[in-house]
Structure 1
Amino acid sequence: MEAKDIKAVYFIGAGGIGMSALVRYFIHRGLVVAGYDKTPSELTKHLEKEGALIHYEENVDMIPHTCKDKAHCLVVYTPAIPAEHQELCYFRENGFEIQKRAQVLGTLTRQMKGLCVAGTHGKTTTSSMCAHIMHQSHLDCNAFLGGITKNYGTNYIVSDSEYVVIEADEFDRSFHWLSPWMTVITSTDPDHLDIYGTKEAYLESFRHYTELIQPGGALIIHRGLEMKDHLQDGVKRYDYSLHEGDFHAENIKIENGEIMFDFVSPIENVPHVQLGQPIPINIENGIAAMAMAQLNGCTAEELRYGMQTYTGVDRRFDFKIKTDKLVFLSDYAHHPKEIYQSARSIRELYKDRHITAIFQPHLYTRTRDFYQDFADALSQLDEVILTEIYPARELPIEGVTSRLIYDRLAPNVEKQLVKKDDVLSLIKSRSFDVLIVLGAGDLDNQVPQMTKMLLSSEN
């Protein structure tokens, strides 16, 4: 279907964080936008206010009339939707053009200069950092992000710029639909083994992704990754890390809750970069974001200003309370390496304080594959409270529970298993010094209530 023929777009899984950015894009273009999602959320409420017609019952009769015209309606779905979904089956059986979210993003990377960020972890923060730097620079950009940026209160940035910043998702090999002008690869620690099967297949998927970078563009890859890249002629390769590589940091200062460093680059060094969101892991994320922005023409002053004014992403090391007596934050970390980095960062920031984590494991398969790694990462903290596993798209696996992690925590770690429904009463019944909620499941929905409880107990 030609773009000019599309008058309506129907989303199956409209409320997903990645899908919702596309919903906003098509609303902005003035098309009829409708869709289905399993449950209402704050995000779907916002989308409805912005003009999307969303319903929450799997029912073909609830699809708007305009979206039943196959000559003019594009259907977009997320791979998390089951193949037997009634509405998806209806569109398939009636010959509609159906595309994955990643296919639509792929089209945009061929129409504009796609600045993509891929990797097992770090991609939401790095892509939102890059988008903020670009958006406030003379270059500007569009952006489709995997989290709600605190700077803009949305996961979608629109402009007339030729650049589009995209978070490149490896789940279901979605990023193979993209044609990046430039891409960062932050990490390739194996994940989604329910899809890939083996570590080798996972790494091969990233290798293939590097083949898709357009000639004249660039790969900016974290130093020391296990994957092998394979670039077309005319694609430049740069590496980065905290202390080494084409792009890296020097003179790092972490003091009084602030972080400052010098950005070292083959193009132009930028001294005195201050992190607006002062978290140690954001030094590396910032190096990657600045590298991609600088390679496209952002000036030293724009890089410095962008980094200083970047305020983060919801659920990414997201501070809710920060006082002398109590620190409370939530973090989306759900892979062992993310948990490790998050725990290391919070330990670095609060060296002498008692740190408690409430962790809701995400997926039975991920828990089965990485329970020892989760235990090792969490053992950096003083206390770990584990809830039951959040299943998302999966059915239970016999013998796979949070106890696999619990039993392998270091002996010196205080530990507890609780039901998710009992977390609020637990918080009400005791005091904390530094508390972090970890995971990509639905425990985060309780964070606003937790914040109120903790604030009232502090006063």
Structure 2
Amino acid sequence: MLSKYQNIYFLGIGGIGMSSLAQYFVHEKKNVGGYDKVESKITQNLEEINVAINYEDNVINIPVEFFDRDKTLVIFTPAIPKLNKQFVHFKLNNFKILKRSEILGLISKNKFCIAIAGTHGKTTTSSILSHILFDNNIKFTSFVGGISENYNTNFIQNGNEIILVEADEFDRSFLTLNPNIACITSIDLDHLDIYENEIQLKNSFIDFTKRIKKDGILLVNENVSINGITFGFENHSNYYISDYKIINNVSTFNINSKEHVFEVNFDMPGKHNALNALVAFVVGLKLKIQPEKIISSILTFKGVKRRFSFISKYPKIIIDDYAHHPIEIKAIRESIRDLYPNKKVTAVFQPHLYSRTKDLMDEFASSLSDFDEVILTDIYPAREKPIKNVNSNILLSKINNINKHLTDKSNLSSHLSRSDSEVLVIMGAGDISNEVEKIKKTIEQL
């Protein structure tokens, strides 16, 4: 179906998931263009490979070739408002319009597909696995939800015999996939704007597992009560981690199976990241890559931008992370404690979505209370409108910490320059990352 379209137009092209698809279609020699409401490093990189992008939704901004309905496919993200002028134009004129998830389903349909699912860990696991595949000359294409530090891109390609994708539970997007190998890294309550409760969320993951191809493989976290090959930290799992420790800022641990024990060194801190490496290791085994080669690749994995990224180490340690869920915030705190057990830590957090903040308010407060100092900014709304009595002030009031503040993003650098904490961690899935360089410059001038 995709072959009949020469023009591919993206609504929300600057999104991390959309931009990898845009790069794919450029590689497929398609004419690619799109709209996004803000210019960013991602859109600038796309423009450098001749993708035509406009930043106002007026229909007149659409390049003329994308008005040909028979030759143009439109791909959109759920973040695009239904009243977006360009979206309305394409809809009224009966263009073929598909969600990003539907496109991934079509691309992977007749290929060997590996799908990494879970409420946390998808991007890091997919990135580690992409590096293992690339390092071992496996012919694959991967669509990653973050920028790989090894390849400086979220679209990694070395052929197309295997398609590696992140299977997103939001909007039940992963139900467009039919993987040969599927992994579920975790299931924690989230997206209650889509799922009414945890039962509905889990049932959606169960539906996902039913889409695995005949004779396919399912890997599941030991804490997820779905039948499959299990992994985790408990020795009753099929594959499990033991003897985890940090030596000279490097994570070391053993990967155990029924027959073997493998010693692994990994440059990313945190037990949650060790678990991500374990999943990638097991998938590599299932693809018949030699374990010693997988371990060697894991050692040379450099990380993912905004996944425990070290921005500066002097005069203060500055860490940037995408964490936007209480479980993720807790994992970040534990990782920092492992690395720097005696250092004072300030957490800067920008809540993401009114709905998530409302549904997980108490859990956010609990996870943030464990830091020495907490600084909140206003909620980043993304696709949502405000919800009455849901704001950062209310979240702040629930945090059990006397050293807590609410500030505007523009004042963060000034505030942090006065902090006596030795470690600063900036967290959130919104636009808080835009402040990181400014914070770094201010701190390095101290």
Once the two structures are TM-superposed, the CA of residue 410 in structure 1 deviates from its matched residue by 2.2
CA distance in 2 between partners of 1:105 and 1:269 (Å): 36
Equivalent position of 1:217 in the other structure: 216
The one-letter code of the counterpart of 1:361 is P
Asked whether the 8 Å contact 2:409–2:435 carries over to 1, the reply is: no
2:277 is aligned, of 267, 272, 286, to 286
Unpaired runs of 5+ in structure 2? none
Asked whether the 8 Å contact 1:141–1:164 carries over to 2, the reply is: yes
CA distance in 2 between partners of 1:14 and 1:364 (Å): 23
Alignment of 1:120-269 (within 5 A): 120-225=119-224, 228=226, 237-244=228-235, 245-266=237-258, 269=260
Residue 299 of structure 2 is aligned to residue 308 of structure 1: yes
Asked whether the 8 Å contact 2:270–2:332 carries over to 1, the reply is: no
Asked whether the 8 Å contact 1:138–1:298 carries over to 2, the reply is: no
SS at match of 1:303: helix
Deviations 1:197-224, CA, capped at 9 Å, x for gaps? 2222111111111111111211100012
The one-letter code of the counterpart of 1:311 is K
Residue 422 of structure 2 is aligned to residue 422 of structure 1: no
The one-letter code of the counterpart of 2:421 is F
Asked whether the 8 Å contact 2:396–2:404 carries over to 1, the reply is: yes
Asked whether the 8 Å contact 1:190–1:203 carries over to 2, the reply is: no
CA distance in 2 between partners of 1:186 and 1:217 (Å): 17
Normalised to the residue count of structure 2, the TM-score between the two structures is 0.96
Alignment of 1:14-413 (within 5 A): 14-225=13-224, 228=226, 237-244=228-235, 245-266=237-258, 269=260, 271-323=262-314, 326-411=316-401
Deviations 1:94-115, CA, capped at 9 Å, x for gaps? 2211111001101122121111
CA distance in 1 between partners of 2:332 and 2:166 (Å): 20
Once the two structures are TM-superposed, the CA of residue 421 in structure 1 deviates from its matched residue by 2.2
Deviations 1:276-316, CA, capped at 9 Å, x for gaps? 32333211111111111211111112211111011111111
CA distance in 2 between partners of 1:270 and 1:117 (Å): 24
SS at match of 1:115: strand
CA distance in 1 between partners of 2:271 and 2:191 (Å): 26
Once the two structures are TM-superposed, the CA of residue 326 in structure 1 deviates from its matched residue by 2.3
Asked whether the 8 Å contact 1:116–1:184 carries over to 2, the reply is: yes
CA distance in 2 between partners of 1:270 and 1:11 (Å): 47
Deviations 1:357-385, CA, capped at 9 Å, x for gaps? 01111111111111110111112211111
Unpaired runs of 5+ in structure 1? 230-236
Equivalent position of 1:11 in the other structure: 10
The one-letter code of the counterpart of 2:298 is M
Identify the range of structure 1 (419-428 vs 11-20) with the bigger mean alpha-carbon deviation: 419-428
When residues 393 and 161 of structure 1 are mapped into structure 2, their CA distance, relative to the original with a 3 A threshold, is closer
The one-letter code of the counterpart of 1:396 is P
**Once the two structures are aligned, what percentage of the paired residues are identical?**
39
Deviations 1:132-169, CA, capped at 9 Å, x for gaps? 11111142421000000100000001122411111111
Normalised to the residue count of structure 1, the TM-score between the two structures is 0.94
Aligned length: 445
CA distance in 2 between partners of 1:293 and 1:153 (Å): 22
What is the Cα-based RMSD across aligned positions, in Å? Answer: 1.5
Identify the range of structure 1 (299-308 vs 7-16) with the bigger mean alpha-carbon deviation: 299-308
